[in-house]
Structure 1
Amino acid sequence: MGLAYLALSRQIMGMNAILNHTLPALPWMEPALARLPGMRPVLDDAWTVQTETFAAQMAARDRLIADAAPVHALLPAGQAAAEEVYALMLARLRGTPGYAVTDASVTRPDGVGVPLRPDAPPQTLGRLVQEDVCLLTPGGMGEHTLSGAILCFPASWTLAEKLGRPMTAIHTPVRAYDGDMARRVQRLLDGVRVGQPLWRMNHNLYASADLFHPRPEAAPRLDAVPLYLRAERQCLLRLPQTGAIVFTIHTYLMRLADLGVGARAALFVAHGVAQ
């Protein structure tokens, strides 16, 4: 498959694609990240970051939110947590280089001004940082529940299907998410401490460079020649007042051709793709 992949990658240049050139880690090559759930402590409180795709990703997020795409939702159970993370983010951005924060608006590093809307925390958060932000609150059966989110860049799932569902139900299509994994994840969520966020990275292969890539659970994933690596830096943060868990997702998208030969070969092996 190697020659076919290289030929197609040269043909499809992705004129509208928003692509990264580097990753913060290569999780398929690092044992500590490869083992599920593969969490590490966040250093320097960096649970939000800026990358070389900041301006392009933020413009895409602005368009999705302005076009009323199905990228945000908030249940009553998540309202207090949404208000808390909204206030926490504004306080954080006041000390972040490149941001200018007033009582009425935030000017981002790309020069775009974002009106502050405390009545719409998810939409506002989605226009301030590159990360998608999901809120996990305690629910029934001893599991956390997805009670709200801004999800501009879904990787083969939809917010409408997952909203209000506990972690086990959210991960129904994931084969590795069995009973043992569900218990480990719940222990992890219960153990996240205030002021000590954690991070992990996942990764998958895609034929498409679309950042907005929703897919219903019942829809099969179509087989195609993979051209792109899609990776997510995911952070877990406990809010000090509500105790809710904030789950942030920073999406990276790279051409497979831009990976080093060794890293690409190891990635194909990890995904069982013939070279």
Structure 2
Amino acid sequence: MILQRTLPYDVMRPRPLPGIAPLGDDPWFLVDEAYAPQMAERLHLMASRRDDVIATAEADPANLSKMMDAVLDHLPPGFARKGDQVKCPDGRAVQIDISDPFGTLGQIVQNDICLMEKRGDEHVLTGAVLCFPASWRLREKIGHPLTHIHIPVKTYTDDIARRVQRLFDGVRPGMPIWRFNALWYDDPSLYQPRAVSEPRPLTEAGKTPYLRTERQVLWRLPDSDAVLFTIHTFVLARNDVPGATKTA
């Protein structure tokens, strides 16, 4: 099991959907207590299941280059870039490979990274490294717009879909926004892909032992209508969640 013991936000405070707030001066990326084991799991998944965790769908090469620059320019303390290498907090040195942007970034940060590019009226998922899916499959979502990506989320109504698309349209370079979600799971595994036809079974309230929560940041690439959607996954045992009750 790969678990965190603490969270950088109050996950028990309810926020109306879509729950977006300005990121402000907070860092885009975090390094937490689970960095080393999460990265070991990411490396294993990228080596053994690359086609399941990395995908592209006619992504604009210019946006891929901007994505690489943006992420590498916003690495938090603990990383050191020298030439075409990045020294990571766990001591690894990662070679920067501009021909494999998602494979490179997936070795550096804990976050999953999704590139959303404007196609017509909607943003479409045109590339991603997604090692820690929370009950969805990258292969089913790549190349599809936001509305399709959120099927079969029952709370993702038409009104919410319009509001989310307006958020993606309204994100400005240098002014990222963020949100979090919170779901209770019986299984603490980080890699949990599920087909749309096989939704996650309902769990009994108050008895699920693990909280899975994602810190999601939206960042507009410079001189582009493309948006990066980054996902930092936390998994905590129920007893380590401040304010969790037996009925949560």
Same fold (TM over 0.5): yes
Written as runs of structure 1 = structure 2, the 5 A alignment for 1:27-42 is: 27-30=11-14, 34-42=15-23
Judge which range, 111-120 or 219-228, deviates more.
Answer: 219-228
- Does 2:68 match 1:86? yes
Which residue of structure 2 aligns with residue 59 of structure 1? Answer: 40
Which residue of structure 2 aligns with residue 115 of structure 1? Answer: 95
Which residue of structure 1 aligns with residue 4 of structure 2? Answer: 20
C-alpha displacement at 1:59, in angstroms?
A: 1.2
The residue identity in structure 2 corresponding to 1:24 is P
Alpha-carbon distance in structure 1 between the residues aligned to 2:126 and 2:57: 5
- Does 2:164 match 1:182? no
Shift in CA distance, 220/236, structure 1 to aligned 2, threshold 3 Å: closer
C-alpha displacement at 1:97, in angstroms?
A: 2.6
| Structure 1 contact 80–242 (Cα < 8 Å) conserved | no
Identify which of 91, 94, 99 aligns with 2:79.
99
- Greater Cα radius of gyration, structure 1 or 2: 1
Written as runs of structure 1 = structure 2, the 5 A alignment for 1:58-77 is: 58-69=39-50, 70-77=52-59
Written as runs of structure 1 = structure 2, the 5 A alignment for 1:1-275 is: 17-30=1-14, 34-44=15-25, 46-69=27-50, 70-93=52-75, 96-140=76-120, 142-224=121-203, 225-260=207-242, 263-265=243-245, 268-269=247-248
Percent identity between matched residues is 44
Alpha-carbon distance in structure 2 between the residues aligned to 1:218 and 1:68: 21
| Structure 2 contact 169–225 (Cα < 8 Å) conserved | no
Alpha-carbon distance in structure 2 between the residues aligned to 1:147 and 1:220: 24
The residue identity in structure 1 corresponding to 2:239 is A
Alpha-carbon distance in structure 2 between the residues aligned to 1:58 and 1:212: 12
| Structure 2 contact 29–74 (Cα < 8 Å) conserved | no
Q: CA RMSD in A?
A: 1.6
Structure 1 residues not aligned, in runs of 5+: 1-16, 270-275
Structure whose residues are more often helix by fraction: 1
Which residue of structure 2 aligns with residue 9 of structure 1? Answer: none
Structure 2 residues not aligned, in runs of 5+: none
Alpha-carbon distance in structure 1 between the residues aligned to 2:59 and 2:99: 15
Structure 2 counterpart SS, 1:265: coil
Shift in CA distance, 104/37, structure 1 to aligned 2, threshold 3 Å: same
C-alpha displacement at 1:172, in angstroms?
A: 1.6
CA distances 1:123-166 after superposition (whole Å, capped 9, x unpaired): 101111111110111113x1111111010100000100000111
Alpha-carbon distance in structure 1 between the residues aligned to 2:194 and 2:188: 14
Shift in CA distance, 78/177, structure 1 to aligned 2, threshold 3 Å: farther
- TM-score when normalising by structure 1: 0.84
The residue identity in structure 1 corresponding to 2:5 is H
The residue identity in structure 1 corresponding to 2:208 is P
Q: How many residues align?
A: 244
CA distances 1:95-121 after superposition (whole Å, capped 9, x unpaired): x43222122321101101111111000
Structure 2 counterpart SS, 1:44: coil
Structure 1 counterpart SS, 2:236: strand
